Structure formats: C-alpha cells, structure tokens
Amino acid sequence: MRFYPLHGEENLRYGKVVPFFSHRHARLYYEVHGPPLGEAPVLVWAHGAGGNHLSWWQQIPHFVRRYTCVTFDHRGFGLSAEGDDSPGGAAFVSDLQTLLDHLGIEAAVLIGQSMGGWTSLGFAVQHPTRVQALVLADTHGGLTSEAVSHAWATAFQRLRADTYTYHPAAGARMTREQPAKYFLYMQIAGLNSEHSLDELAELLATAGSPTPEEVGRVSCPVLFIWGEEDEVIPVEVGQVAATYFRNATLVTIPQAGHSAYFERPEKFNESVEDFLNHLCL
C-alpha cells in the first residue's frame, strides 16, 4: 500500500500516512493502492451516496494486481469534511481534477457508482482527453433527457414515498440473502454525514446534468454495468442512457440491486476486467 500526500497535509493513523488535500472549502481524503504511479494503468473509483472509499473492499484487492487504484471520499462523505461555504456537488468534478493533478495522473479509467457517476461522467465531459475509459455502475451520471427522466420517474417517486424497511441502495435481495454483507453495507454508510433524500437530490442537481449532445462527444469506450433488480435507478435508465454515447456497452448482473459491485462482486469484477482487457492501456 502506498500513500501520496498532497499539499503536505498528513496525519498518522496506525503508524501510516493518511493523505488529505484541501480544495474549495473542503478537506478531502484519498488512497492509492497497487503499483506505484507511473508503473501501471490507473483506475479511479468514485463511490455512491451510500458509500465511501471503503465501499470498494471487494474490488481493490482484485484489481491492484495489474492496476494502480485510486479511491477517495467525496466531500461530505467518509473521512472528507466540508466547510459551511462548500459548493457541495458543484465541486465534485473539480475535486477529482485537483486530485489527479497533484498525483500527476494525466489520464485514467474512471469507475463511478451511482452518485460517483455524476463525478465521473462530468469529468469525462469537461476533460475528455484525460479519460481513457468510463465505467458507469448503476448510474446514468446525471445525463438529462426526456427519455431518461421518463425511465427514472416511477422509481424516484417510490423512493420519495419512503416506505422501505431496508436501505434501497443495498436492495431487498441483499437484505434477505446476505444479511452479514447488508450489515457491513450499513456500517460503511453510517460513516457518512446524514443526507435526506431531498438533500441528496439537491446535491446531485448541483453536481451537473450533461446533455445528450455533450455525452455524444465523449469518445472513450463506456461500460454501463447494472443490477437487474435495481430499485433506485432501474436498468431501463441505463438502456436509454447508453444510446446517447458513441461507444457504449451495457452489461446486466442478475439477482443484483443498485449496489451490484457490493452484492455480486465476482460478476462485477469479471465484467469490468473483461472491459479493461479490450482497451489499449
């Protein structure tokens, strides 16, 4: 494990350097795992609203054998803190840019789950030459169109009704069939600052809403990977969103909900690895 501090801001935890960097009224946490930077292709992992850098515990050990893996906490999540004047989601893309700049990463593969898709797609739209490929996991990344909105409308209305006895991002099946994993999901989510559904909706609204015309100019390969039982952003949203990209593929994972990466890691990792194997990195 290697840590690369930014701006000289370091703490020690269990005798190891814990790296943070400051940007736009926030103190942001990140980690670098695997081969030293410059010695392997870079994968940047952007978590969803129910997670933080810990969420990728089933992906990082798998991918560090061939790739340098960068994880981070969005501002207001995990170990990242934001001040009263923080712009919230409006800073997600510039936070990622600042992190990559200070790590000296010119280009990387971005892997964004749910909310992390807003960050990843927004960055790809604004900085297309710095994205070698894009993986959007159970997310359309904020892509705005009438067709996408129509596909998502029913699920969003159901979320607002707040009738769930379990975390909808974890899903009914994980809750029922993998109670230990569901417990861990909730423990990881519990490390975040609390956000109501309305607060999350506002956060995502400020994070950006790329248009079909903007995503149509994203030329890098794109993999949409979706849990077939996703109750938060149904797979139909992904089917519609994929049609707006030049070079997009959609893979579905059976018996998985919104957090397919967490619930079915073997299938998720296999799908991502197959996608990466076809890239010239």
Given a cut of 50, is residue 96 above it in pLDDT? Answer: yes
Domain boundaries, the chain: 10-277
How many whole angstroms separate alpha carbon 246 and alpha carbon 243? 8
> How confident is residue 157, by pLDDT bands cut at 50, 70 and 90?
confident
> How confident is residue 62, by pLDDT bands cut at 50, 70 and 90?
very high
> How confident is residue 12, by pLDDT bands cut at 50, 70 and 90?
very low
Q: Average pLDDT, stretch 165-185?
A: 96
pTM: 0.93
Given a cut of 80, is residue 223 above it in pLDDT? Answer: yes
Given a cut of 90, is residue 5 above it in pLDDT? Answer: no
> How confident is residue 1, by pLDDT bands cut at 50, 70 and 90?
very low
Of 32-36, 99-103, 153-157, the range with the lowest mean pLDDT is: 153-157
Query: CA distances (Å), 154 to each of 137, 150, 160, 213, in order?
Result: 20, 8, 10, 25
pLDDT tens profile 132-146: 999 999 999 999 999
pLDDT tens profile 191-213: 998 888 888 989 999 999 999 99
Task: Provide the CB-side half-sphere exposure for 13 (13 A, CA).
Answer: 7
The token pair that represents 122 in the structure block: 């927004």
Identify the burial level of 13 via C-beta atoms within 10 angstroms of its C-beta, where 0-12 means exposed, 13-18 middle and 19 or more buried. Answer: exposed
Nearest CA to 218 among 100, 136, 145, 113? 136
Q: What is the pLDDT of residue 18?
A: 61
- CATH fold for domain 10-277: Rossmann fold (3.40.50)
